[in-house]
Amino acid sequence: MQELLQGMAETAMTWLQENTLSLVLALAIFVVGRWLAGLLSKLIKKIMARAKVDEILVDFIAGIVHAVLVLFVIVAALSQLGVDTTSLVALIGAAGIAVGLALKDSLQNFASGVMLILFRPFKSGDFVDAGGVMGIVEKITVFSTTMRTVDNKEVIIPNGGIYGGVITNFSARPTRRVDMVFGIGYDSDLLKAKKILQEMIEADERVLAEPEPVIAVGELADSSVNILVRPWVNAADYWGLYWDMQERVKLKFDEEGISIPFPQMDVHLNQAGD
């Protein structure tokens, strides 16, 4: 055993004497390479920060760049020592393909997250309809988006399901048009009803003067004359005006004797033998 250990020590000393320069160069490649990788990743961080890219994406991309560069440095250092890195590179490539296939959905979510962060179809605090969920955006990460619904539920949606579908951002514009329909009976005074609606819209301070509100007959339906009421408001006042008008119009129409028809069914009973 002692002779075996002594032989191994002699072999190691011989290898060190013969490869001292290669070992020093490999060590230098590793140290300098790691320093350059860190320097480059920091430079990328600064450039992306100046471009006002999301901080989450900055850290993620800088981390990936740093890891890839360090991997190249390790391969270069091993190659300097005389190690055959061809099989190692092939193994890394095969592992990368296998990981890519296994994480296909995660990579799709990541790519979608990058696009969402870069192009910003919405931001935190916006009220949106995306990925089959309607709510307020609370957080956007590279893999998922967290939303809070109107009934205060937290929903986490994979970014692939958002970017691959239709996104409706209700907060993107400062103003919105409130679309309402009020039906009156055919025996009610149409001009009087339109005048009442016009006065109610003009009296509400939330309604914007421009664009001018529209009040017009939209349809002569089976049991009602449908009047379209379309005022413009600031986005924050949309639901407040909509809900208020539903109640106020009903009370005012009742007060003025204007009927609001509702579906009715006449049932005829035939006695047996008739």
- How confident is the model over 74-130, as pLDDT tens digits? 877 777 766 666 666 666 666 666 655 554 566 777 788 878 877 788 888 899 999
How high is the pLDDT of residue 227?
95
How high is the pLDDT of residue 252?
95
Alpha carbon distance 46, 56 (integer Å): 13
Residues 6+ apart with CB under 8 A from 88: 75, 78
Highest averaged pLDDT of the listed ranges 12-16, 104-108, 163-167, 201-205:
201-205
Tell me the average pLDDT across 240-246.
94
Contact between 44 and 62 (Cβ < 8 Å)? yes
Tell me the average pLDDT across 122-148.
88
How high is the pLDDT of residue 117?
77
pTM given for the model = 0.59
User: For 243, what's the count of Cα atoms within 13 Å in the CB-facing half-sphere?
Assistant: 4
Contact between 80 and 26 (Cβ < 8 Å)? yes
Segment among 43-47, 153-157, 214-218 with least mean pLDDT: 43-47
How high is the pLDDT of residue 96?
62
Portion of the chain with pLDDT greater than 90, in percent: 36
Answer with the residue of higher pLDDT: 232 or 117.
Answer: 232
Alpha carbon distance 229, 225 (integer Å): 13
Alpha-carbon radius of gyration of the chain: 35
User: For 107, what's the count of Cα atoms within 13 Å in the CB-facing half-sphere?
Assistant: 9
The answer to whether residue 261 scores a pLDDT higher than 80 is yes
Taking only the tens place, the pLDDT of each residue in 193-219 is: 999 999 999 999 999 999 999 999 999
Amino acid at 159: N
How high is the pLDDT of residue 1?
60
Portion of the chain with pLDDT greater than 70, in percent: 74
How high is the pLDDT of residue 37?
83
Under DSSP, the state recorded for 112 is H
